[in-house]
């Protein structure tokens, strides 16, 4: 399922970020090459997480629109049957 794949991808990104944070704690401030590589890795993970967040936000917006449409359809069907609604 696509949602399971997206969830697994998000979890992998979070694990990667945790590893990077651990790695950052062990890097010496004088090791410029390692710091630059670490910054690049962190930025890549951050961009991946931002993509995942945007995708989740889009799905939430879509679910809200669907729920609103279902509610409107329900109210309309109740009016046609002569039922009162609150």
Q: Using one digit for the tens of pLDDT, what is the confidence trace for 22-77?
A: 888 888 778 888 888 888 998 998 898 899 899 999 999 999 999 999 999 988 88
- Identify whether the C-beta of residue 17 lies closer than 8 Å to the C-beta of residue 49: yes
Q: How far does CA 55 lie from the centroid of its chain? A: 6
The per-residue pLDDT for range 8-23, each reduced to its tens digit, is 887 888 888 888 888 8
What is the distance between the alpha carbons of residues 44 and 21, in angstroms, rounded to a whole number? 13
């Amino acid at each position: 399922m696509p949602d399971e794949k997206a969830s697994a991808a998000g979890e992998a990104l979070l694990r990667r970020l945790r590893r990077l944070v651990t790695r950052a704690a062990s890097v010496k401030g004088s090791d410029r090459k390692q710091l630059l590589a670490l910054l690049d890795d962190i930025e890549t993970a951050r961009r991946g997480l931002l993509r995942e967040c945007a995708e989740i936000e889009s799905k939430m917006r879509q679910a809200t629109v669907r729920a609103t449409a279902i509610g409107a359809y329900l109210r309309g069907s109740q009016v046609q049957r002569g039922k009162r609604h609150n």
